[in-house]
Structure 1
Amino acid sequence: MRTHYFMFLLVSFLFFSLFSLSHGAPVGICYGSVANNHPPASTIVSLLQSNAIQTVRIFNPHPEVLQSLSNSGINLMIGVPNEMLPSLATNSVEFSVQWLQSNIFNHFPATQIKYLTVGNEVFIKDPYNTQFVVPSISNLHKALQTLNLDQMIKISTPHATCVLANSFPPSNGTFNPEILPQMIPLLQYLQQNDSPFMVNVYPFFSYINNRKDIGLDYTLFNSQGVMLDNELYYDNLFDATLDSFVAAMDKVGFRGVRVVVAETGWPTAGGEAACPENARMYNGNIVRRALGDVGTPMRPGVGVEVFLFDMFDEDEKNGEEYEKHFGVFGLNGIKAYDVSFT
């Protein structure tokens, strides 16, 4: 009898272990559209489904994209353009309801929407509109309440890492004091509504801009050494960056707000260290850590949902040449390098 009991415990342990491994943090992909050569939106559903990609981030609610993905079983993070924030913030809740209906719900079922992102990196790249972020979120939230969708669709806004005044070592993470008047009410909203704090994290940019202090191996999860910070060990820049945000939120009284990485990736061309092998190594490790619920040193075992950037190269992007070469897939739908989403 005892033998059967222990066998039962063993089988149960193995079952739940396998279940947890196969149900880690979600991994999605960004679908940028700053290009003139992308395949038609109608063709991407089969590409996403064949690669078991279940969540996609789009930066604007393009009707063609929404209609193509409608009823596909693929969930979306849908961006609200920065330029819409003043109107959403200063008009009535009914205005927000009408905007949602005409721009999103008339083209796409609400049941497939996971997140609304109000602007992108507004606090740093669009200072004028910073004042409108939280009022816009508030009005959109009330609009979702009116439509009985507020529990299903979570609202947030993605941040660049430079909203931090200090990020090294991670335990010293603090927000830029100039943005605290807007950051505090945002964090209050996120905490009260179980919405995530969203960040765009690019160790590649950190390496390119600071080769003197940041090693390539440290950005690629390939470091042989570790950094010790408050008895926690860091062997990669991705973890260190996320925990800098965790520490910054803790310092202003918002412990426990979950973090979602709304963008991360590595270019395949266009500059030093930008190559398919490094992209494969970086994104492969990002996916494995998410699916394995690895977490970070400050939050071990707490899986971090991530969105890889980008589905395709974007040939019309401004900036350095590598900005155009983040595509995981070629225009023919073939992967630029070997990375699995499962």
Structure 2
Amino acid sequence: MARAAVLVWLVSMTLVSTHLAQGLGVNWGSMASHPLPPSKVVAMLKENGFTKVKLFDAEPSTMDALAGSGLEVMVGIPNDKLEKLAKDYGSAKDWVKENVTSYLYDGGVSIRYVAVGNEPFLTSYNGSYVKTTYPAMKNIQKALYEHSKDIGTKIKVTTPFNADVYESKSDKPSGASFRKDIRQTMVQILGFLKQEKSPFLVNIYPFLSLALNPDFPKEFAFFDGGGRSVQDNNIQYHNVFDANMDTCHYALKKEGFEDLEIVIGEVGWPTDGDASGNVRLAKKFYDGLFKKLAKGDGTPLRKGKVEVYLFGLFDEDQKSVAPGDFERHWGIFRHDGQPKFPMDLSGKGQNQMLKPVKGGGNDGEAMIEVSAGDVAALSLSAGLLLAMTFFTLM
């Protein structure tokens, strides 16, 4: 019976993947003091047309709510579990059994990815996870294959990286390379991703390029053009999103992995906590992003549709504000499930409010008004700062 149920799940995953491959995803975090009922959140996601959701863990109540929803799911493994999973294969087997295969019953959860860690190579972590991320990835993948070859093939193991894993000394995408201190490990991981046909996940934040660099040209953070551009050989870049993504492309190409698919694990714009964090600019950014995604023309260096996960779903009042007060205001919805501003997820010019979480708050309230707060002194490491601002226009 169990084998039959898994076969049904595998067939459904094949059908779902072809239909939802280019659908829009969103990050669903859990660092809120008053989380909304997962079942109501799932209903809201479906009502608004989201087809994919990225989690930072595999909390049982959330997974139970996702069962039978048809939403494609990326489950996450927190960084503090990497050492144990890397050193003890038995722990990796137990984690896979508890958080993945136990949900693969008929009508269960459509798990597509396992994200091992989250931005584990941030320079601010001082190398804490450099030696454990790759072994943990291998053990999780091995445990999936041990359950069944089909599941090990269908569910892709990857790791979401921050854009600080690569850099460009020339401030141009074509000058990109992976950081010297992690290059050897990155090449091992890239080889693993290629072998397993898994994507390379990277988080790109144009907001941080603007917020952390007072000399950064404002319009370059958006998609409207009109500002100064970056000329790189025969390519002209009009926004930092394309420039950053192509920097990633060049870094991969330099190591011989130019064919790896790149998935944007996080991209978004906060609505408070910084002079540039407000509803007006957030709407401007998302409007441009959705129009770009709707065109499906990729970047100047690599054409084609891009898989994207927005960051994030809700404001989270328990997030650290060490990087800045804006950290608690990334949500496209308020903490109570109310949308903050009109959004057109299709990119076709349909300027309308998203459907709220029913029963989550003041259902009749259309929009919030926010004013930009004073930005606190930012304490990101020099490496992260460089990653967010390395496009200094000459």
TM-score (norm 1): 0.88
Q: 1:311 aligns with which of 305, 310, 313?
A: 313
- 1:254 CA displacement: 1.2
CA contact (8 A) 2:293 2:305 kept: yes
CA RMSD of aligned residues (A): 1.8
Aligned: 1:76 with 2:73:
yes
Other-structure match for 1:105: 101
* 2:121 match: secondary structure: helix
CA distance in 2, matches of 1:47, 1:65: 14
Aligned: 1:40 with 2:44:
no
CA distance in 2, matches of 1:59, 1:285: 27
* 1:338 match: secondary structure: coil
- 1:272 CA displacement: 0.8
Other-structure match for 2:330: 326
Other-structure match for 1:14: none
Other-structure match for 1:131: 131
CA contact (8 A) 1:63 1:104 kept: no
CA contact (8 A) 1:165 1:177 kept: no
CA contact (8 A) 1:26 1:291 kept: no
**Equivalent position amino acid for 2:112 in 1:** K
- 1:23 CA displacement: 7.6
Other-structure match for 1:6: none
Question: Which whole-Å deviations, capped at 9, do the CAs of 1:108-153 have from their partners, x for residues lacking one?
Answer: 6576011111001111244222111111111111111122212211
CA contact (8 A) 2:201 2:265 kept: yes
Question: Which whole-Å deviations, capped at 9, do the CAs of 1:181-228 have from their partners, x for residues lacking one?
Answer: 21010000111111111111111111111121x212110112214322
CA contact (8 A) 2:28 2:314 kept: yes
**Equivalent position amino acid for 2:242 in 1:** D
Please, which moves more after superposition, 108-117 or 312-321?
A: 108-117
Q: Pick closer, same or farther for the CA change 1:150–1:162 going to 2, 3 Å.
A: same
CA distance in 1, matches of 2:20, 2:43: 22
TM-score (norm 2): 0.77
CA distance in 2, matches of 1:340, 1:115: 26
- 1:74 CA displacement: 0.9
* 2:128 match: secondary structure: helix
Identical aligned residues as a percent: 31
Other-structure match for 1:338: 342
- Structure 2 stretches lacking a partner, 5+ long: 1-18, 347-394
CA distance in 2, matches of 1:323, 1:331: 13
Runs of 4 or more above 6 Å deviation: none
Higher helix share: 1
- Structure 1 stretches lacking a partner, 5+ long: 1-21
Other-structure match for 2:202: 199
CA distance in 2, matches of 1:62, 1:199: 23
CA distance in 2, matches of 1:269, 1:40: 25
CA contact (8 A) 1:313 1:327 kept: yes
CA contact (8 A) 2:203 2:267 kept: yes
Please, which moves more after superposition, 145-154 or 262-271?
A: 145-154
CA contact (8 A) 2:162 2:202 kept: yes
**Equivalent position amino acid for 1:323 in 2:** E
**Equivalent position amino acid for 1:120 in 2:** N
CA distance in 2, matches of 1:216, 1:208: 9
Please, which moves more after superposition, 94-103 or 54-63?
A: 94-103
- 1:84 CA displacement: 1.4
CA contact (8 A) 1:122 1:130 kept: yes
